[in-house]
Structure 1
Amino acid sequence: MNANQRVLIIGFVFPEPHSSAAGGRMMQLISIFKKQGFKVTFASPAMDSDFMIDLESLGVAKKSIVLNCSSFDVFVKELNPTIVLFDRFMMEEQFGWRVFENCPDALRLLDTEDLHCLRLARQKAFKEKRLFSTDDLLIEDVAKREIASILRCDISLMISEFEIDLLQSVFKIDANLLYYLPLLLEPIEDSTIQNLPAFEERKNFVFIGNFLHEPNWNAVQYLKVTIWPLILKQIPEAILQIYGAYPSQKVLQLHKPAEGFHIMGRANIAQEIVKNARLVLAPLRFGAGIKGKLLEAMQCGTPSVTTIIGAESMCGDLPWNGFIIDDAQVFADKSVELYQDKNLWLKAQENGFEIIEKRYLKSLFEGDFVKHVLKFQTHLKQHRLDNFMGTLLQHHTLTSTKYMSRWIEEKNKKV
């Protein structure tokens, strides 16, 4: 066991595993550290929410921290963590230099979740009605911030092999700075599979996704305006249920029961909803990372129809648990076919179970991840010497971000 290991996680928000895949991902990381006997503290500048998990009941210390305030310096110096995990690059920007200054020997991990610059560059290209190019990344302001954060950290955890390749080919990031750690799942027991609702017991199409995430909102609009009418022409009695946390008024206004289009709001137990649906639709037109909603569909034995971006980096060379299609008419046609054809549906369901078994089981990654972290702690000095660009950026961050933050802190004292 590693009782002397103290992990500080600096979160963008306190984890909400039932609201987003990001919340579930964070709980997976906490679980790995706790299993190793590490002492875990989770700190965030975010407000508490009604849907955040009770960290203290899991043996995780919870701490509220303040942006641009030296109170964090006192806190982190006293805690003296051996490992600091930044939840997304924005937290590293805010607190990384303070960690470096007060705990220089702590191993700094960055959990990217997905590449924000990739998602935003794709979103911009989509809205400008043009094809995305990797050159878009080179002019994206967020890319400059995100890549700088990756370089300043000792290891960046990546959930997408596609994004690892992109970081190495476009930004020339050293492979030693990147570590592939996808969303991690427990094995699906045979008894669980046998107890899943059968094809005949399931009904309706479903979409599920947090509405604070722009790709999800865009996909719902695309469904409402384009794809769902094409499905209704072939199955007039069909029903599509849209679930998601934090629906805005503009989302709620899409609720049209007469058209079989139902805005259901937050899903209290998402897996119950997905496993009783016959098909998940996810026509994502921009985004990044791997999609928790599609992995959840596989866990529930529910086939899905998605786009190339939706399925990106998720199944490797294995067949998808449904169809991957970008064309709206073909998307609708294949959705109808999969909804109505039991044999095709059962084969798609089997494909989903195989993808989980071969690509996402926690047992495939957990041990190696812990060994990787411990190895880098042992050779941290040499690792940092080999990462000169990271050292250079850390130096300039300390002389720019540091004094900007100090200035803001002094300014706040006068308000």
Structure 2
Amino acid sequence: MVSQVPLLVVVGYVWPEPNSSAAGYRMLSLLKLYLAQGWQVVFASAAEPGMHRYPLAELGVIEQQIALNDSSFDNWITALNPQAVLFDRFMLEEQFGWRVEQACPEALRILDMEDCHALRAAREQCAKTTAALDAAALNSELALREIAAIYRCDITLVISSYEMQLLQQHYQVPAALLCYCPFLLEQEPTPNRLKFDQREHFVAIGNFRHAPNWHAVLWLKQQIWPLIRARLPQAQLHIYGAYPPPKATALHNVRDGFLVKGWAEDACVVMEQARVCLAPLAFGAGLKGKLLDAMRCGTPSVTTDIGAEGMQPDGASVQADNPDQRLWAGIIANDAKGIAEAAVKLYQQPELWSRCQQQGYAIVTEKFMLAAHQTRLWQQLEQVRQQLELHRQHNFTGLMLRHHAYRSTKFMGQWIEAKNRLGASTAAEPDAVPAPEAN
């Protein structure tokens, strides 16, 4: 394909599902960012298309199914010769980075972290063992892989201001390799939502395939919701999320007001009908799309320090004991009793509820509007692309890692390809590569 305009190729972990996960919404906003600058965009993925995938063709994005460990990708991307390639999560850079460098070495290589996988995994492990999050937990094998991918790329998009700080201070990643890119909303929130007395019940929402969300559902079921229900016997908790497994639907209990409703076609419709959003996240990373939706819809939330991380106004503290003084669109608490008490308070106090609603609108306007970030984002991306060779020479660690790591991943990929071809030639079924799990 010959292109008369700059071309971006996105190598996707999954096909975007903006109504199923925050990752899908974020990817869609990045595609629109490039489209708005007049670029042509191709989205390629080796994953199986999900039932809720977004119709990218309606945006003018070209879709391409690709294969893992197959040289057909090399021929395909060589013919395209894109000006930029974006890897959706570090695992895709490991799979395809060396192929992109070999086929189109002058293309800008962008990594979108989505969130810091190493941080999320370390927190999950610490939650299981009740251990403290320390340097040993953060310096895991997963971290070595993820930070190496950051160095091998020319620029990395980081969604959370907290993770920008973590990458620079703990992992010592140079600031020149990082670009702060939070959620990017095109429209400001509209305050004329349903009022306090027009709403009822609680809502929790999140993709069931994402471990922090499933843990939150269990925490609600086993500890938090019984405390709330004892104080508000008529209240219900409506739980939404894509891909609910049988173990999740089995938690549905009408008598207890614990209603597992599965996928929501429009998260904002169900969010704006609820009085309070519950997001008791014991671990995780990045920014929480469910809390952004809650703020956009004027629904105050109860969440944890981890849930609010990177989403509070600049200079806000999550340590204050008085919830009315916290700069959050609701109340922050970190144990079952505190979360339940906060939920009841928000549910019963209209004045507090209204103040938290207004704070949510202010946070969205301050931190997550496309207009506030677009110019800075685009200038940084284009500056790196226009000075690519000089930029790479200043990243000696990246040069070194590409020299060594790409050799090993290249040979591994070629070995798997040869093995699969041998299997096919002897009528044996080749190794199947499962579709990646949605975030």
Shift, 1:300, TM fit: 0.2
Instruction: Say if 2:58 is the partner of 1:57.
Output: yes
Amino acid of the structure 2 residue aligned with 1:161: S
List aligned pairs for 1:137-176, cutoff 5 A: 137-138=138-139, 140-176=140-176
Inter-partner Cα distance in structure 2 for 1:186 and 1:410: 46
What is residue 218 of structure 2 aligned with on the other side?
221
What is residue 339 of structure 1 aligned with on the other side?
347
Structure 1 pair 227–3 and aligned structure 2 pair: CA distance change class (3 A): farther
Inter-partner Cα distance in structure 2 for 1:32 and 1:289: 20
What is residue 289 of structure 2 aligned with on the other side?
292
Inter-partner Cα distance in structure 2 for 1:321 and 1:55: 33
Contact 2:206/2:240 (<8 A) preserved: yes
Shift, 1:395, TM fit: 0.6
What is residue 183 of structure 1 aligned with on the other side?
183
What is residue 381 of structure 1 aligned with on the other side?
389
Question: Is the partner of 1:258 in helix, strand or coil?
Answer: coil
Shift, 1:169, TM fit: 1.3
Report Cα offsets for 1:10-30 as digits up to 9, x if no partner: 000111111100000000001
Amino acid of the structure 1 residue aligned with 2:191: I
Inter-partner Cα distance in structure 1 for 2:87 and 2:4: 21
Contact 2:31/2:41 (<8 A) preserved: yes
Report Cα offsets for 1:299-327 as digits up to 9, x if no partner: 00000000000001111335101101102
What is residue 75 of structure 1 aligned with on the other side?
76
Inter-partner Cα distance in structure 2 for 1:256 and 1:284: 22
Contact 2:158/2:181 (<8 A) preserved: yes
Inter-partner Cα distance in structure 2 for 1:317 and 1:142: 31
Instruction: Say if 2:334 is the partner of 1:326.
Output: yes
What is residue 116 of structure 2 aligned with on the other side?
115
State which of 355, 366, 382 in structure 2 corresponds to 1:358: 366
Structure 2 runs not aligned, ≥5 long: 317-326, 424-439
Normalised TM-score (structure 1): 0.97
Inter-partner Cα distance in structure 1 for 2:228 and 2:344: 7
Inter-partner Cα distance in structure 2 for 1:317 and 1:186: 24
Contact 1:73/1:98 (<8 A) preserved: yes
Amino acid of the structure 2 residue aligned with 1:130: A
What is residue 24 of structure 2 aligned with on the other side?
23
| RMSD, aligned CA | 1.1
Contact 1:3/1:38 (<8 A) preserved: no
Shift, 1:131, TM fit: 2.1
Report Cα offsets for 1:373-413 as digits up to 9, x if no partner: 11111111111001001011111123211111111111100
Inter-partner Cα distance in structure 2 for 1:261 and 1:289: 28
Instruction: Say if 2:247 is the partner of 1:239.
Output: no
The higher-RCO structure (CA 8 Å, 6+ apart) is: 2
Shift, 1:188, TM fit: 2.4
Amino acid of the structure 2 residue aligned with 1:95: F
Give every structure 1 segment of 4 or more consecutive aligned residues whose post-TM-superposition deviation is greater than 3 Å. Answer: none
Shift, 1:3, TM fit: 5.7
Instruction: Say if 2:378 is the partner of 1:370.
Output: yes
Higher alpha-carbon deviation: 310-319 or 227-236: 310-319
Shift, 1:238, TM fit: 1.2
Question: Is the partner of 1:193 in helix, strand or coil?
Answer: coil
Instruction: Say if 2:272 is the partner of 1:271.
Output: no
Amino acid of the structure 2 residue aligned with 1:68: N
Amino acid of the structure 2 residue aligned with 1:269: D
Shift, 1:134, TM fit: 3.3
Contact 2:161/2:310 (<8 A) preserved: yes
Contact 2:43/2:63 (<8 A) preserved: yes
Question: Is the partner of 1:257 in helix, strand or coil?
Answer: coil
What is residue 93 of structure 2 aligned with on the other side?
92
Contact 1:251/1:263 (<8 A) preserved: yes
Inter-partner Cα distance in structure 1 for 2:230 and 2:132: 30
Inter-partner Cα distance in structure 1 for 2:125 and 2:335: 20
Inter-partner Cα distance in structure 2 for 1:228 and 1:392: 52
Contact 1:126/1:132 (<8 A) preserved: no
Inter-partner Cα distance in structure 2 for 1:330 and 1:397: 47
Instruction: Say if 2:282 is the partner of 1:281.
Output: no
Question: Is the partner of 2:255 in helix, strand or coil?
Answer: helix
Report Cα offsets for 1:108-151 as digits up to 9, x if no partner: 0000000001000110111112222233111x111111011001
Structure 1 pair 43–146 and aligned structure 2 pair: CA distance change class (3 A): same
Amino acid of the structure 1 residue aligned with 2:76: F
What is residue 349 of structure 1 aligned with on the other side?
357
Inter-partner Cα distance in structure 1 for 2:267 and 2:93: 31
Instruction: Say if 2:191 is the partner of 1:193.
Output: yes
Structure 1 runs not aligned, ≥5 long: none
State which of 400, 412, 415 in structure 1 corresponds to 2:420: 412
Higher alpha-carbon deviation: 18-27 or 328-337: 328-337
Question: Is the partner of 2:302 in helix, strand or coil?
Answer: strand
Contact 2:191/2:361 (<8 A) preserved: no
% of aligned pairs identical?
Answer: 47
Question: Is the partner of 2:51 in helix, strand or coil?
Answer: coil
Amino acid of the structure 1 residue aligned with 2:358: E
